[in-house]
């Protein structure tokens, strides 16, 4: 999912649009864990977007929608 007017980089090598990494917290915890990458300050345009109200709202919305999607997908699974 892209933020409005700002394309995020992605890796589709394993069939999904994320960049895989063997982070300890993701591999060795007994709870649901997510690490997010919210963009890079690698250009004046990217920095302006990340600091803008629109950019902050877009990032927050992506996080909230992701959490809601996860909860909805797991709603019928046994505890």
Q: One digit per residue, pLDDT tens: the chain, 79 residues?
A: 456 666 656 666 667 666 566 777 777 888 777 778 888 888 899 899 999 999 999 999 999 998 899 889 888 887 6
Give the integer Cα–Cα distance in Å for 76 and 59: 28
Say if CB 54 and CB 4 are below 8 A apart: yes
> Alpha-carbon Rg of the chain, whole angstroms?
15
Structure tokens at 30: 């007994």
Q: Distance (Å, rounded) from C-alpha 45 to C-alpha 5?
A: 11
Domain range spanning residue 60?
A: 1-79
Tokens of 45: 């345009």
What total number of domains does the chain contain? 1
* pLDDT computed for residue 27 by the predictor: 77
Residue 49: how many CB atoms within 10 A of its CB? 20
């Amino acid at each position: 999912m892209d933020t409005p007017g700002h394309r995020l980089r992605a890796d589709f090598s394993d069939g999904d649009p994320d960049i895989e990494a063997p982070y300890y917290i993701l591999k060795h915890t007994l709870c649901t864990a997510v690490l997010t990458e919210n963009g890079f300050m690698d250009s004046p345009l990217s920095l302006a977007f990340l600091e803008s109200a629109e950019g902050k709202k877009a990032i927050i919305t992506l996080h909230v929608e992701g959490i809601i999607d996860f909860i909805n997908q797991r709603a019928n699974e046994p505890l």
